[in-house]
Amino acid sequence: MATIPLQLAQRRLDTGSVVSYPNSSPVGAAIQGFGDELSAVAERFRQQKQQQDAFDAEVIGRELNRQIAEAEKEAIQNAPADGRGLHDAMYGQARNGVVKPGLFDKIFDSTVPKMPESERASFIRQKEALRLAGSARMAARQYARRQDYEQAEWSKAQAAELNAIAQSDPDDTATFEAIRQSGFDFIAKMGNPVARQLAETGWRSNTAKALAQAMIANDPKRAAEILGAAPADARLADLTSEDRAALASQAGMAQG
């Protein structure tokens, strides 16, 4: 069947100056029937076009999601160790509307012209909902990156401080307390309260172990006596009974 332009089909039959026929006549009935057929064709064409537009919009929307996911992945890979600026680079700064656009805006705005005209307005209305979801997602990744960074930096600092204690004079109480307090000061600046509490608990135990190691290296016999005493040295108060027994055993072997 030949393709009938939509605007023409929707007009049904434009009689204009053409001779009209009574609907009851065979010619009139035929003309009326042909007009109805044209209208039906136009409606089918409209429905088909609407279906095609919806399909194309779905394809374009999926491609947009793929591009956003890829852009997020690259942003995460290229972000600094502490995650600084990760969220804003991808989703901009939003205060009462977008103040500073991000890569998301560039990707979305370049997709708009690709959308079928019948689907474009609906698509544009989805923009801020997509931004909100992506913003929350990227903020969570930035926060996680920051926590990993703080933990890594604390681990490095702790290793250096514990080594300093282990290599120091175990009778130099002032130096031990200064190093210990320096660690607590560092921990206090961590942003995650749960990580901060765990770090404090670990720091107390680890500094006591490092001090015991210094005692063993300096005088294993005396260290064994101190570790086996009850109560032990106040600076070793954070050792568990299992740690104290293990260190006392180590001191005993070091005497031989």
**In the prediction, which pLDDT does 1 show?**
39
Residue pair 187/154 in contact by the 8 Å Cβ criterion: yes
- How confident is the model at residue 46, as a pLDDT? 76
For residue 102, the model assigns a pLDDT of 93
The Cα 249–Cα 241 span in angstroms is 12
Torsion angle of alpha carbons 129, 95, 68, 75, nearest 10°? -150
Which contacts qualify for 3-7: CB closer than 8 Å, 24 or more apart? Answer: 4/38, 4/41, 4/42, 4/45, 6/42, 6/45, 6/46, 6/49
Q: How much is the pTM?
A: 0.74
**Spatial separation of the C-alpha atoms in residues 195 and 204, rounded to whole Å:** 14
- pLDDT at res. 159: 97
Can you read off the two tokens belonging to residue 68? 């956003």
Tens digit of each residue's pLDDT, the chain (256 residues): 344 444 444 444 444 444 444 555 555 555 565 566 667 667 787 788 989 999 999 999 999 999 999 999 999 999 999 999 999 999 998 666 656 899 999 999 999 999 999 999 999 999 999 999 999 999 999 999 999 999 999 999 999 999 999 999 999 999 999 999 999 999 999 999 999 999 999 999 999 999 999 999 999 999 888 888 766 577 898 998 899 989 988 988 888 6
Domain boundaries, the chain: 152-255
